Amino acid sequence: MAHRSALINVMVAAAQKASRKLLRDFGEVENLQVSKKGPADFVSTADKTAENTLHYELTKARPKYSFLMEESGEVVGSDTSNVWIIDPLDGTTNFLHGLPHFAISIGLQRDSEMLAGVIYEPVHDEMYWAEKGQGAHLNDRRIRVSARSKMEESLFATGIPFKGARNHPEFLAHLEAVMSVSSGVRRFGSAALDLAYLAAGRYDGFWETGLSPWDMAAGIVIVREAGGYVTEISGKNKMMQSGSILATNDRLHSPLGKLLRDAQKEIS
């Protein structure tokens, strides 16, 4: 049985608490698909309710910590060096369409560094968790990134920009470069789960641009503790500010980064 610190226990318990109602709400979405109005309003309420539960539970356990949340934004506590960075429902579009691929993501940033992360996928009861220096876990099992080093054997994940995003040409150039040399590219619609799956060795690499801090905060510490590398696509280390992320196992970071940057040069 893997040892969970008091901090991880607090984060895991909050995620489990919020997930109960979220799962019940997911069951309701199927019924609402056929209604004229559709489930959109219902889902935004489910999202907000999950966030309120996380805020309440984490404040109860650590009353002074600050928050950065997808729905409510910044909530400044008396302790500003500890910040919970939270996405109560990552994969909202999946949830809205009745696709069982979504997660709750809770990261803890301390003095501008990611200290701990929990990503919970309630449909499969998969709890990914990591604390700096303590390794990464899936439920009670230690996880590690894959050992693949050949692009042609590797499976990658990414996120496809949607209506309103401005980076479509760049994305198409990236996709063309990676799909021509790899074993495939997947797009499942939850950046948090893409990072968790990378940490578990299911994907060998992941890239995306235009993300928000809450999409990646927990995932960054989980991937690093699983032995993976995380930077921006440019190689810099300001992912949370730029929204650009390149995360891989420990062997593919240079080749995937070079491939993406070269593809970008061709179109600019």
Query: Segment 192-221, which members bind ligand 2AM (CB under 6 A)?
Result: 208, 215
Q: Which is nearer to Ca ion, 87 or 121 (CB)?
A: 87
Give the range of 11-19, 44-52, 208-216, 259-267 binding Ca ion by CB under 5 A. Answer: 208-216
Site for ligand 2AM in 137-166 (CB under 6 A): 159, 162
Segment near ligand 2AM (CB under 6 A), from 5-13, 55-63, 107-115, 183-191? 183-191
C-alpha to C-alpha distance for 188 and 158, rounded to whole angstroms: 8
Burial tier of 153 (Cβ tally within 10 Å: 0-12, 13-18, 19+): exposed
Among 25, 51, 57, 90, binds ligand 2AM (CB under 6 A): 90
Radius of gyration of the chain (CA): 18
Tokens linked to 234: 């440019």
Comparing CB distances to Ca ion, the nearer of 57 and 87 is 87
Choice between 94 and 249, CB closer to Ca ion: 94
Q: Is 170 in the site for ligand 2AM (CB under 6 A)?
A: no
Least Å distance between CB 178 and ligand 2AM?
A: 16
Which residues lie below 8 Å from residue 146, measured CB to CB, with a gap of 6+?
154, 201, 202, 203, 204, 249
Report, in Å, the least distance between residue 138 CB and Ca ion. Answer: 20
Instruction: Determine if 87 is a binding residue for ligand 2AM (CB under 6 A).
Output: yes
Site for Ca ion contains 90 (CB under 5 A): yes
208 binding Ca ion? (CB under 5 A): no
Instruction: Work out whether 92 is an interface residue with ligand 2AM (CB under 6 A).
Output: yes
Under the criterion CB under 6 A, does residue 40 sit at the interface with ligand 2AM? Answer: no
Q: If we measure between CA atoms, which residue out of 56, 65, 69 comes closest to residue 13? A: 56
Q: Which two tokens stand for residue 209?
A: 């641009």
Q: Which residues bind Ca ion (CB under 5 A)?
A: 87, 90, 215
